């Protein structure tokens, strides 16, 4: 899968949690979704892309979830 698609999907997941008032719970929700539904290769590819691009264009909740 292309990195652009992974970033788009990860941002969509993060936006789903925008209505969660507790930021820690929102980040945990993103983290849990990535762990439950994404393959390790997808998570690694996303993390590598985030590192290579200094997180540009990636929702902060996603970056925190990957940390």
| Per-residue H/E/C for 3-45 | HHHHHHHHHHHHHHHHHCCCHHHHHHHHHHHHHHHCCHHHHHH
pLDDT single digits (tens) 1-45: 899 999 999 999 999 999 999 999 999 999 999 999 999 999 999
Domain ranges for the chain: 3-66
CA nearest neighbour of 30 among 47, 45, 12:
12
pLDDT given at position 9: 98
> 30 or 55: whose pLDDT is higher?
30
pLDDT given at position 1: 85
pTM of the model: 0.92
């Amino acid at each position: 899968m292309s990195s652009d698609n992974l970033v788009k999907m990860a941002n969509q997941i993060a936006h789903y949690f925008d209505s969660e008032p507790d930021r820690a719970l929102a980040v945990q929700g993103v983290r849990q979704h990535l762990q439950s539904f994404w393959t390790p290769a997808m998570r690694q590819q996303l993390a590598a892309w985030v590192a290579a691009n200094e997180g540009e264009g990636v929702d902060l909740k996603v970056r925190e979830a990957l940390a």
